[in-house]
């Protein structure tokens, strides 16, 4: 029987107070993992802890900005002291700024890349030594459609997520010998707070044009839900994927395969 169980494993999911990170953390818990997560601030952490408690999911949460290497080192040391060595890292935390590139300030571009790419590097660098000591590890980077495609106003985000795809392949290449597998999940368009502006009903009550566009580009004819990512995350976190390495698993309802529905 293929082993999808995460029993006995410790998973750290970044930015998991809500959204995709929360759904992935819940799925890993339901597969047997112990869950720890971080938020960037106390308020979000408190909301996340309340949400897990409401569902009866025991978690430990910490405030930590993933772009702060000193804070991340302290986080991992604290997790190792309080819970154990991280077996599974899900680099989920991320931001987006939708600004036409010629209007975007360099510090805005830098911030997106700092969180979405450098943050994932910092987190992975912090957990790899423990994974080497344990003789195994799973790193799952949450990439994007924008790891493959561009679109207007998301130049920083696409640049970061494209880099995250290559960071995934780099970690897979450098640490495969230590029985560490690093893969990515590339969600399609998922209904979360991050994409809420793209689905907002127009002042005249009509559907957002981008909402209509994504539905026409998705064979399934719908936005993804955070629950659509649960199974792929459990698979990539489990022993069942021990020979899958450096792969980006697109969970996009078929967007990347489809020319789009005729209007």
Residues binding ligand NAP (CB under 6 A) = 14-15, 17-21, 38-41, 44, 65-67, 92-95, 115, 119, 142, 144, 187, 189-190, 192-195
Q: Which is nearer to ligand GCO, 14 or 144 (CB)?
A: 144
Q: Which is nearer to ligand NAP, 4 or 210 (CB)?
A: 210
* Residue 142 touches which of ligand GCO, ligand NAP, none (Cβ within 5-8 Å per kind): ligand NAP
**Residue 151 Cβ vs ligand GCO, minimum distance, rounded to whole Å:** 6
Q: For helices 155-175 and 106-113, what crossing angle results, to 10°? A: 30
**Residue 251 Cβ vs ligand NAP, minimum distance, rounded to whole Å:** 9
Q: Which two tokens stand for residue 28?
A: 């890993």
Distance CA 10, CA 85 (A): 7
* Residue 39 touches which of ligand NAP, ligand GCO, none (Cβ within 5-8 Å per kind): ligand NAP
Q: Which two tokens stand for residue 65?
A: 């900005």
Query: Is 250 designated active site?
Result: no
**Residue 143 Cβ vs ligand GCO, minimum distance, rounded to whole Å:** 8
Q: Which is nearer to ligand NAP, 65 or 211 (CB)?
A: 65
Positions that interact with ligand GCO (CB under 6 A) = 96, 98, 144-146, 151, 154, 157, 187-189, 194-195, 198
* Residue 70 touches which of ligand GCO, ligand NAP, none (Cβ within 5-8 Å per kind): none
**Residue 194 Cβ vs ligand NAP, minimum distance, rounded to whole Å:** 3
Helix H, strand E, coil C: the string for the chain is CCCCCCCCCEEEEECCCCHHHHHHHHHHHHCCCEEEEEECCHHHHHHHHHHHHHCCCCEEEEECCCCCHHHHHHHHHHHHHHCCCCCEEEECCCCCCCCCHHHCCHHHHHHHHHHHHHHHHHHHHHHHHHHHHHCCEEEEEECCHHHCCCCCCCHHHHHHHHHHHHHHHHHHHHHHHHCEEEEEEEECCECCCCCHHHCCCCCCCCCCHHHHHHHHHCCCCCCECHHHHHHHHHHHHCHHHCCCCCCEEEECCCHHHCCCCCC
Active-site residue identified among 52, 157, 189, 250: 157
Q: Which is nearer to ligand GCO, 144 or 218 (CB)?
A: 144
Q: Which is nearer to ligand NAP, 112 or 172 (CB)?
A: 112
Q: State the chain's maximal CA–CA distance in angstroms.
A: 59
Question: CB-based contacts of 196: which residues, under 8 Å, 6+ apart?
Answer: none
* Residue 98 touches which of ligand GCO, ligand NAP, none (Cβ within 5-8 Å per kind): ligand GCO
**Residue 1 Cβ vs ligand NAP, minimum distance, rounded to whole Å:** 31
* Residue 154 touches which of ligand NAP, ligand GCO, none (Cβ within 5-8 Å per kind): ligand GCO
The residues carrying an active-site annotation are 157
């Amino acid at each position: 029987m293929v082993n999808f169980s995460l029993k006995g494993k410790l998973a750290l999911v970044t930015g998991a107070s809500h959204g995709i990170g929360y759904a992935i953390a819940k799925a890993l818990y339901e597969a047997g993992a112990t869950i720890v997560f971080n938020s960037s601030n106390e308020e979000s952490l408190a909301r996340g802890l309340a949400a897990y408690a409401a569902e009866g999911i025991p978690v430990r949460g910490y405030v930590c900005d993933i772009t702060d290497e000193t804070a991340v080192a302290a986080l991992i040391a604290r997790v190792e002291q309080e819970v154990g060595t991280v077996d599974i890292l899900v680099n989920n935390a991320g931001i987006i700024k939708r600004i036409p590139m010629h209007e975007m300030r360099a510090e805005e571009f830098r911030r997106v890349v700092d969180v979405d790419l450098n943050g994932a590097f910092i987190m992975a660098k912090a957990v790899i030594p423990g994974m080497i000591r344990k003789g195994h590890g799973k790193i799952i980077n949450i990439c994007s459609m924008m790891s493959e495609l561009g679109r207007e106003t998301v130049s920083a985000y696409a640049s970061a997520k494209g880099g995250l795809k290559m960071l995934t392949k780099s970690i897979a290449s450098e640490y495969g010998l230590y029985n560490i597998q690093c893969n990515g999940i590339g969600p399609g368009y998922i209904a979360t707070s991050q994409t809420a502006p793209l689905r907002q009903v127009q002042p005249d009550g009509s559907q957002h044009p981008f909402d209509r566009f994504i539905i026409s580009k998705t064979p399934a004819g719908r936005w993804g839900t955070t629950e659509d990512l649960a199974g792929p995350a459990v698979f990539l976190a489990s022993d069942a994927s021990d020979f899958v390495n450096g792969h980006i698993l697109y969970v996009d309802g078929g967007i990347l395969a489809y020319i789009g529905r005729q209007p």
